[in-house]
Amino acid sequence: MKPSPLFLPSPLQKLIDYLHESALRPLLVGGYVRDAIRGVYESKDIDIEVYGIASMDALERVLSAYGAVNAVGKSYGVLKMRLEAWELDIALPRVETKTAQGHKGFAVTVDASLDFATAARRRDFGMNAIGYDPKAQQFLDPFGGIDAIARGEIAHIDDVTFVEDPLRVLRAVGFAARFGYTIAPATLMLCRSMVAQGMLEELPIERIEGEYKKILLLSPKPSIAFGYLDAMSALPIELAQLKNTPQHPLYHPEGDVYVHTMMAIDAFVPLRCGDARKDFALALAVLCHDMGKATTTRLIDGVLRAKGHENEVQFAIAFLARLTHDKALIEEVLTLVRLHGRPSQLYAQHASDGAVRRLATQVVIEDLVTVAKADFFGRTTPAALSGRYEAGEWLLERASHLGVRHEGVAPYLKGRHLLAHGMQAGAHFAPILAQAYEAQLEGEIVDEESAIVWLEVYLEREKMSNEGEKILTKG
Domains of the chain, earliest start first: 10-150 (3.30.460.10), 152-232 (1.10.110.30), 236-409 (1.10.3210), 415-470 (no CATH)
* Residue from 225, 236, 233 nearest 316 by CA: 236
| Distance, CA of 281 to CA of 177 (rounded, Å) | 19
Ranges of residues in the chain with a pLDDT under 70 are 97-107, 466-475
* Residue from 11, 8, 15, 1 nearest 36 by CA: 8
| Distance, CA of 295 to CA of 142 (rounded, Å) | 51
| Distance, CA of 220 to CA of 222 (rounded, Å) | 6
| Distance, CA of 158 to CA of 98 (rounded, Å) | 14
Residue 468: per-residue pLDDT: 46
Residue 75: per-residue pLDDT: 81
Residue 460: per-residue pLDDT: 86
What would the 3-class secondary structure string for the chain be? CCCCCCCCCHHHHHHHHHHHHCCCEEEEECHHHHHHHCCCCCCCEEEEEEECCCCHHHHHHHHHCCCCCECCCHHHCEEEEEECCEEEEEECCEEEEECCCCCCCEEEEECCCCCHHHHHCCCCEHHHCCEEECCCCEEECCCCHHHHHHHCEECECCHHHHCCCCHHHHHHHHHHHHHCCEECHHHHHHHHHHHHCCHHHHCCHHHHHHHHHHHHHHCCCCHHHHHHHHHCCCCCHHHHHHHHCCCCCCCCCCCCHHHHHHHHHHHCHHHCCCCHHHHHHHHHHHHHCCCCHHHHCEEECCEEECCCHHHCCHHHHHHHHCCCCCHHHHHHHHHHHHHCCHHHHHHHCCCCHHHHHHHHCCCCHHHHHHHHHHHHHCCCCHHHHCCCCHHHHHHHHHHHHHCCCCCCCCCCCCHHHHHHCCECCCCCHHHHHHHHHHHHHCCCCCCHHHHHHHHHHHHHHHHHCCCHHHCECCC
Mode of pairing for the β-strands spanning 78-83 and 303-305: unpaired
| Distance, CA of 171 to CA of 125 (rounded, Å) | 10
Print burial letters for 360-372: b (CB count within 10 Å at least 16), e (below 16).
Answer: beebbbbbbbbbb
Residue 150: per-residue pLDDT: 96
* Residue from 28, 25, 22 nearest 7 by CA: 28
